[in-house]
Every structure is written in structure tokens, then in C-alpha cells.
Chains A and B, each alone.
Chain A
Amino acid sequence: MTANYWESSQALQWKLTQEELEENRKEDLKYITEREYWHLTYYCCNVAFKIGRTMQLRQRIIATALTYFKRFYARNSYRGSEPLLVLTTCIYVATKIEEYPLHIKNVVDEAKNVIGEKLFKFDCANVAEFEFYLMEEMDFYLIVHHSYRTLTKLMLDLKLPVSSIQQAWWITNDIYRTDIPLLYPPHIIAVTIIFIVGVLIPDANKYKDKIKEWFIGLNVDMNEIVELSQEIINFYELWTDYSDRNIYGILKKLRASSSSDNNNNSNKIATDKKK
């Protein structure tokens, strides 16, 4: 996390609002339901975490990759792109940016492995070609700040038990499945996670006063923290409902409408323009 988050491109160019994201999502929601939209997103995130695990990538790399993925889909639709190609490219670019360069073939093979050849029909050339489009869509702003380091530092300052540091770390990982990294600064995310974890500590009473005191001393907007923790809880509710059995169906739904309804689409664009 830089000394100067407020001057970073993440704060100036890539901090978005809920409205902007929803506006862009409208295109996909013509073809699939919102629930399906999120299931597809969760599926892609799961694939990223799985690739990270099998290739033993650092958590930071996957976090950066998923931030890229979210940035790309803040401007594009699933329907107009190949989510799994985008995802693989995001991971490949992230390994370079986080200074852990891998051979492109390793990344593509692993993606094929995890996703299965039925859904993943791309090769190295596709990823290499798409790399440029991905970077262009992000306006070449490539540095991403994460909350991991702030989180660990704050938790050590607070002297919370190791088990809750672990728990906080898991929540941080989970947050990359949502839009939260695009909407909130990393330090707010870190503080909110401490807020949540503070409640979940087994012998919470022992730490209650200390945590309360610590929050009083912080110079952050508590409303924002409460709002964000509500969002995180909402996410977990959606998340429990997730299963990847339906993914093929969702992708088919997106594809089918784009190939057979060509005329329909052009009409739609025309009517959009009129509006």
C-alpha cells in the first residue's frame, strides 16, 4: 500500500460507484438473471483461486488478477466477451505485474486443466493477443493496492489471536469475489474486516473493550464501515446459495442469444440509440 493511496490511479481512475457498475451490467441482465450473473462471477473467481492454489501463486497475484477481471467487467459485458479467456489473461498479466513471471504456456495449460477443455478452448496466442486489450481497457493503470498488508499490520497492533488473523485473511480473499475492491479503499476494507472478525472471536468479551477503544481512536467514517460490513454479510448470504452445476447453462444462455438473435441485437442497438 503506497504512502499515497489518494494520489494513486486506483483512487483517481479506478474507484467506481455502485451506479456505474449497475449501468454496465444492464446489458448482461437482458439475457440472464442477476442471480445467474453472480453465479457466473463466483465461478470465474473460484477458477482463479483454484489456478492460484495448484500453481502455488501468492495470494496477492490472484487478488490483482481478480481486480483486473472486475475492472474489465466494469466496462464490458460477459455476453460480448469470453469470461474465461479474460480471466486467464488477467492471471497472466498479474503474475508479470507482481514480479512472478511465468511462461504463458504454464498459465494456459493450468487454466485448461482447472476449467476443462469443454469450456476453455483457447491457446497461448489468444491470451497473448488479449493481453493488450485487457491493458487497454484498464487504461494501462496496472498497480493495484490490496488490504492484506494493512490488515496484518493492524491486527498485530491489536494483538488479536492468530486464529482471527487467519479468519480475517479468508474474508479478505472472499471479498475479491465481489465488487467491493472497486468501491472501497483498501484501508477501509481492512478496518471493516477487523470490525467483523472482532465479533466472531470465540471469547469476544475478552477483547471487546480493547477493540472498542481502538475503533474510537480511529479517524474513519463509521457509517462507511457499517455499510460495507452489511455488504459483506449480504455477499455471504448469496454465496451460500452458489453451486457451479449451472455454469454451462448460464454461458449457453449468454451465447445463444448473441448468435441466433443477431437481428434482434442490431434492432436493440438502434432503439438504444434512439433513446
Chain B
Amino acid sequence: MTEVINNLNDTNTPTNDINNDKKKENSNKKNNRKFVINPINNYRKEKKIGEGTFAVVYEGVQLSTGRKVAIKKIKLGDFKDGFDMTAIREIKFLQELKHPNIIELIDVFSNKTNLNLVLEFLDSDLEKIIKAKDVVFSVADIKSWMLMTLRGLYHCHRSFILHRDLKPNNLLISSNGQLKIGDFGLSRDYGEPSEVMTSQVVTRWYRAPELLFGAKEYGYSVDMWSVGCIFAELMLRTPYLPGENDMEQLDIIFRALGTPTEETWPGMKLLPVPSKVEFSIYPKTPWRNLFTAAGYDALDLLEKMLTYNPAKRISAQDALLHPYFRNKPRPTNPSKLPHCTKEDINNSKKRKNLDGEEKISKRLFV
């Protein structure tokens, strides 16, 4: 059955063809537009599946192909400032990034006052699977999810894009088990390393220490820290570093990984925060007792992802080349990965709303 869906997806190029045709008839487009299939009529919204602060998500159907899609309706409301930055970023990056492990933006259309993003329909995410207590997963399953995450992320990074909000909730899972990175509302293109950016990014539990220290110049390594946290969470089945606020977050990181020193993290003292705050000195908690089922190669990779010094932290490309992915057991075939049952949906819906609240404050930053 999943294969059939795949094929459907593959033959789904007609929408693009329509776009190309559109381009050719460019003599007087406003008159011609009437003759092109109106995208509004090509989609049918069926039911509401989620709501955030700036968007409502519907399940829908692309009528020309029968394909199931998710329609994200951006609320414009009383925003007089035009489109919200989050929506703009999402369109900007998803139009450019095409990869099996990144969510596909199928179409964009408007009806009067709303902007609608048509995305591929993904019914689950990694958070739901981690939380589903009746699902057991093996070492090979974790390897498979990690592999797909890193492949998608590597594609972002080599296209010079920082995701800046990786967390299990944003790693979506398709019905055939493929993991796809979603939610590019906080992403940025990253060209010149000296560019100043806000440190108020990434959901706290997955936020790299340099961001917590208020760094304004950072790079791809912030995404890799998040991947490390997700890796640990997959093994523990519970968030690895759940801080209540930014200061406690640092404390929790230091308890788990040991307080960094000028030796383990040169340049740390130059960041905005440490000059003002004294931190307690903790030793590193031995991982062997915590991650009992993990192999040495897995812990080695985890350690390289959760390295304090951003310059020394492993890159997505090097992580993909790490022996962990070559050693046995081989990563599970995506179609054979455990999938989440629908009962847990309510549970994570609550969390999504919480995330939405956090986002409204983050949206204001660059």
C-alpha cells in the first residue's frame, strides 16, 4: 500500500507542469490566469488537524491527483505588516530545498486574505513515537532515524541554511516511515560567518550552550547540538536536558556533561553571559550508567555532537561518515520502523500549542 502512495507521489509532477505552462503564456498574464487551473479549486480542505498561533493546519486532498496533503492556512488577521516572517521563511526555504528527508512544499495559493501552503501529508512525528510507551524500538531503529535526520540536515547545511529549531516534534514521519525535517519558520540562510544573528532560537531543551551564553555569531554547529539532544532522547525515551528556564538549562547541561573549562571550550569566556555569572563546577556524569544499551560507537558519536566547543563539534557531513552508521546492526529499513498509533495525538497537541506560544515571542527576532 505504501508503495502505491509512493507512485502516486512520483506521478505528481503535473502541478509543476502547470507552472511551466503558466510561465510560457506570459504575454498578458492577468487575462491568461483564468485559463490555468485555479489552485484554489485544486485542493479540498477536509478537516482541521492542528492550530498554532500563526497558522491552522487542515488535512486535504489535491483533486487533480487524489493525493492527500496538509494545508497550512496562514492567519493574516490584523497584521498590517504583510506576511509574517515565519511564513516567509518557510516558503523561501522549502521552495528551494528538495530532498527525501525534508518536507515537500507542493503549492502555495491564496484566497482573498489568507495564504495557504500545501505541504505533503505526514501523519506522525518523532515526538509522538518517543512518547508512545507501547512502542518498543531497537538500536537499529534509532540508527535509521538518526541517518535520515542527518541526511536532511546535511542537505540544509550544504545549501547554506541553518534550521535553528530541530526537535523531535519537527521531525515528521510519513506513512511509509520516511523521516522528514519540517518547520522552517526560524531558519536562516547563513553565508558570512561574521553575520550577527539572534541567540533566541531553538526550543530550549535542544539549544546549544553557545546560544544560551548569548552568542550572536554562530553556525551549523547549533543544529548539530540539537541532533545530539535528539539522539540521546531516542535512547533514553525522555528528554535528555529538560531545563525550566535558560539559566537552569545551562546548569542541567553542566551537570550532565561537566562544567566546561577554558581548556574544553576556548573562547567561552568571551561570550556575553559567562563574564557576569559564576557557575558551579560539576564533573561529567558517566554515560555508561545512563545509556546502558548503547554501543561504544553510538556514545562516541553522541559525544562528538554534544561537544562544548562549537568549532570542534562534529558537522553533519562528518557525522554521516562516522563508523556508527557503518557498524552493525544496519539501520532499519524506513518502511519497517515502528509507527505511532493515533491515541497519542491528543497528548502532543497540547504540546504543540505550548510551542506556538513560545514561537510568538521568537518571531520578533531576526
A143 and B29 within 8 A (CB):
no
Chain B residues near A96 (CB-CB < 8 A)? 82-83, 85, 88
Q: Which residue of A lies closest to B96 (CB)?
A: A143
Given A2-B159, A140-B95, residue A23 in contact with residue B366 (CB < 8 A): no
Q: Does A149 contact B (CB under 8 A)?
A: yes
The stretch of A75-83, A159-167, A231-239 that contacts the partner chain: A75-83
Inter-chain CA distance A128–B26, complex, in Å, is 24
Q: Does B158 contact A (CB under 8 A)?
A: yes
Considering only CB atoms and an 8 Å cut-off, how many residues of chain A contact the other chain? 43
A125 and B31 within 8 A (CB):
no
A4 and B115 within 8 A (CB):
no
Q: Does B278 contact A (CB under 8 A)?
A: no
Q: Of A2, A100, A131, A135, which one neighbours B160 at CB under 8 angstroms? A: A2
Chain A residues near B19 (CB-CB < 8 A)? 139
Q: Which residue of A lies closest to B105 (CB)?
A: A140
A132 and B110 within 8 A (CB):
yes
Give the most central of A26, A92, A96: most B CB within 10 Å: A96
Chain B residues near A80 (CB-CB < 8 A)? 28, 30
Q: Of B81, B110, B159, B192, which one neighbours A136 at CB under 8 angstroms? A: B110
Q: Does B322 contact A (CB under 8 A)?
A: no
Output the least CB separation between B272 and chain A (Å): 21
Given A77-B28, A92-B82, residue A3 in contact with residue B110 (CB < 8 A): no
Inter-chain CA distance A27–B91, complex, in Å, is 31
Inter-chain CA distance A199–B317, complex, in Å, is 42
Q: Of A13, A24, A135, A139, which one neighbours B27 at CB under 8 angstroms? A: A24
Residue-wise, chain A 85-99 has the 8 Å CB interface mask toward B (1 for contact) of 000000011001101
Q: Which residue of A lies closest to B84 (CB)?
A: A96
Q: How large is the interface on B (under 10, 10 to 19, 20 to 34, 35 or more residues)?
A: 20 to 34
B91 and A135 within 8 A (CB):
yes
Given A4-B159, A80-B30, A97-B88, residue A141 in contact with residue B80 (CB < 8 A): no
Q: Does A211 contact B (CB under 8 A)?
A: no
Residues of B83-114 at the interface with A, using a CB-CB cut-off of 8 Å, are: 83, 85, 88, 91-93, 95-96, 108, 110
Residue-wise, chain A 246-275 has the 8 Å CB interface mask toward B (1 for contact) of 000000000000000000000001001000
Chain A residues near B26 (CB-CB < 8 A)? 20, 23-24, 74-75
Q: Of B83, B85, B93, which one neighbours A131 at CB under 8 angstroms? A: B83
Q: Does B274 contact A (CB under 8 A)?
A: no
Q: Which residue of A lies closest to B159 (CB)?
A: A2
Residues of B303-336 at the interface with A, using a CB-CB cut-off of 8 Å, are: none
Given A27-B27, A269-B31, residue A143 in contact with residue B83 (CB < 8 A): no
Q: Does B357 contact A (CB under 8 A)?
A: no
Chain B residues near A100 (CB-CB < 8 A)? 366
Q: Does A8 contact B (CB under 8 A)?
A: yes
Q: Does B297 contact A (CB under 8 A)?
A: no
Interface of B is mostly: mixed
A132 and B115 within 8 A (CB):
yes
B108 and A101 within 8 A (CB):
no
Inter-chain CA distance A269–B32, complex, in Å, is 12
Q: Does B189 contact A (CB under 8 A)?
A: yes
Chain B residues near A135 (CB-CB < 8 A)? 83, 91, 108
Q: Of A136, A139, A142, which one neighbours B92 at CB under 8 angstroms? A: A142
B189 and A143 within 8 A (CB):
yes
A104 and B81 within 8 A (CB):
yes
B158 and A3 within 8 A (CB):
yes
Q: Does B295 contact A (CB under 8 A)?
A: no
Give the most central of B22, B27, B82: most A CB within 10 Å: B82
Given A99-B188, A101-B366, A137-B29, residue A125 in contact with residue B95 (CB < 8 A): no
Q: Does A118 contact B (CB under 8 A)?
A: no
Q: Does A103 contact B (CB under 8 A)?
A: yes
Output the least CB separation between A147 and chain B (Å): 13
Chain A residues near B22 (CB-CB < 8 A)? 139
Q: Which residue of A lies closest to B22 (CB)?
A: A139
Chain B residues near A197 (CB-CB < 8 A)? none
Residues of B19-43 at the interface with A, using a CB-CB cut-off of 8 Å, are: 19, 22-23, 26-31
Q: Does B191 contact A (CB under 8 A)?
A: yes
Residues of A1-57 at the interface with B, using a CB-CB cut-off of 8 Å, are: 1-4, 8-9, 13, 20, 23-24, 26-27
Binding site for B on A (CB under 8 A): 1-4, 8-9, 13, 20, 23-24, 26-27, 74-77, 80, 92-93, 96-97, 99-101, 103-104, 124-125, 127-128, 131-132, 135-137, 139-143, 149, 269, 272
8 contacts between A and B (CB under 8 A): A4-B158, A92-B82, A96-B82, A131-B82, A137-B29, A139-B23, A149-B191, A149-B192
5 tightest A-B contacts by CB?
A128-B82, A142-B92, A131-B82, A75-B26, A140-B108
